[in-house]
A and B are shown apart, each in its own frame.
Chain A
């Protein structure tokens, strides 16, 4: 799939591509933060027949909806490709020493070699959380690594 990028002087940027079924769609990123989702006419592929204007918040919500299931799918693809790599989902229990503390304090990667790739909170996926991401009881931490290292992370999250 090829994404074409065009500068719109004074307005912003446009990214467009053609879907497998032959529809042409684009996203216009206005400098003001506004995002337009543009669908092109079948008969006149130069013309935008539908333009949906999204503000910051709506654009984020749409990106989340389109992106979240993809992250899980990509993870599954990842350990199909690389042997010996597993991803595990570790719930943060009420009594976990890291509930209410920044994730970085667990130093999971330094101590075990496994990586925290996402935190799922209330059904929302927070991809690649930064070390200052505050963990909370009820979160599910997604960890990728060897079976031993991911088990070690599970141990850290329970016992500290």
Chain B
């Protein structure tokens, strides 16, 4: 009987996600906000609370994060990361300072304390590379001259995340200042060791994983990613970062194949992850936070626009391109929810989850729409000039 209810509930959730995804596709927005809304509706305090499948959904959500980060890592190879760091450190730093600040400031103003401030800084910092890549491709912006700038900022953000997540996990673990420093040092040491290993010995890992059979390849990649994620978790480095590093270590033809195989798996479990975050958030608690979330969204839209304009101008791109770079950087999504999820699970301030949910709902939905709406305007201005 028990399995039957779990299947019915899960089937209902996944089916509902499918329908929502179709709607999002038609409206030309990212499905992530809709998945969050679905989670809110099915979760505690929602319209139709589900109970039996919660454990399964929780594990599925963790898997979703691991797969999200693994496929993200597969997109990059180590050389690209290094080249991008060299060429764009300045733009990347401006991005970090301008966009981490709003979240941190809001958390401090609300009196949530320094730990929540670090978490909120992460929530407002990262652009969703998934949504941005889709927007660039949908609007035919991939060939544009500001696009390499946008992409390298995304690479920079992802790398920063690899450093930031272990620090955040260590701080959230709530150890004393001295103990915290040790944990952070261990975490950063582990990340650096794996990064260097990936850079220099990536081909050995590739040789181990490579297989002409897609089934064997899939099992090896997922197995390796999960095992490394588990070990990383033990070291307080966060499972997500472990998976990200495995992805970076694999490159070339092998990475494409693995990515193609993993995509459907990732899409399924990532959707479950967004739902799970929504499930854990009481919709009633979002409303009081809505005003702050909207204000934060407006402020961080402006800071991302400024970031994009700054980085694009440095690359010698004209006015219109600078505006497009800024707009492409607006969407938030996967990472921001991952960070908020970590903070909520570690028992940060109870309002952090609802605020992050409201914030991501607004920006993940508005980013792609903004790009679509503003495009004709930018073109018009460029023609006049």
CB-defined contacts of A7 to chain B, threshold 8 Å: 80, 83, 148
Q: Which residues in window 6-50 of A have CB below 8 A to B?
A: 6-11, 14, 16, 26, 28, 31-32, 36, 38, 40-41, 43-48, 50
- Residue of A with least CB distance to B255: A31
Q: Residue of A at shortest CB range from B152? A: A9
B320 close to A47 (CB less than 8 A): yes
Tell me whether B317 and A46 are in contact (CB under 8 A): yes
Say which one of B135-143, B238-246, B269-277 lies at the interface with A: B135-143
- Within 8 Å by CB of B140, from A26, A32, A43, A48, lies A48
Q: Is the CB of A36 within 8 A of B151?
A: no
Q: Is A89 an interface residue (CB 8 A)?
A: no
Contact B147–A8 (Cβ < 8 Å): yes
Given contacts A9-B152, A28-B142, A44-B320, 15 further A-B contacts (CB under 8 A): A6-B148, A8-B147, A8-B148, A8-B151, A9-B154, A10-B80, A10-B129, A10-B151, A26-B143, A40-B143, A44-B383, A45-B145, A47-B145, A48-B140, A48-B141
* Closest A-B pairs by Cβ, 7 of them: A38-B143, A48-B143, A46-B321, A44-B382, A46-B145, A51-B140, A10-B75
A36 partner residues in chain B, CB cutoff 8 A: 142-143
- Indicate if B318 sits at the interface (CB-CB under 8 A): yes
CB distance from A43 to the nearest CB of B (A): 5
B379→A44 contact, CB < 8 A = yes
Instruction: Kindly provide the distance from the CB of A12 to the nearest chain B CB, expressed in whole angstroms.
Output: 9
Q: What A residues does B321 contact at CB under 8 A?
A: 44, 46-47
Residues of chain B in range 120-178 having any CB-CB distance to chain A below 8 Å: 129, 133, 140-148, 151-152, 154-155
Q: Which of B76, B141, B324 contacts A10 (CB 8 A)?
A: B76
Cβ contact of A51, chosen from B129, B143, B148, B256, cutoff 8 A:
B143
Residues of A close to B152: CB separation below 8 A: 9
| Closest chain B CB from A52 CB (angstroms) | 10
A9, B80: Cβ atoms under 8 Å? yes
- The smallest C-beta distance from A131 to any residue of chain B, in angstroms, reads 26
- Interface size class on chain A is 20 to 34
B84 within 8 A of A: yes
Whether the pair A48, B142 counts as a contact (CB closer than 8 A) is yes
Inter-subunit contact A31/B256 (CB<8 Å):
yes
Q: How far is the CA of A101 from the CA of B146 in the complex (A)?
A: 53
A101 CB to closest chain B CB, in angstroms?
31
* Complex alpha-carbon distance, A41 and B385, angstroms: 13
Q: Which of A6, A8, A16, A45 has the most CB of B within 10 A?
A: A8
Task: Give residues 80-135 of B contacting A (CB, 8 Å).
Answer: 80-81, 83-84, 129, 133
Question: Could you list 28 A-B pairs, sorted by A, with CB under 8 Å?
Answer: A6-B148, A7-B80, A7-B83, A8-B142, A8-B151, A9-B75, A9-B151, A10-B76, A10-B80, A10-B129, A10-B154, A10-B155, A16-B143, A28-B143, A36-B142, A38-B143, A43-B383, A44-B320, A44-B321, A45-B145, A45-B318, A46-B145, A46-B317, A46-B321, A47-B320, A48-B140, A48-B141, A51-B142
A6 to B145, CA, bound (A): 10
A46 touches B148 (CB 8 A): no
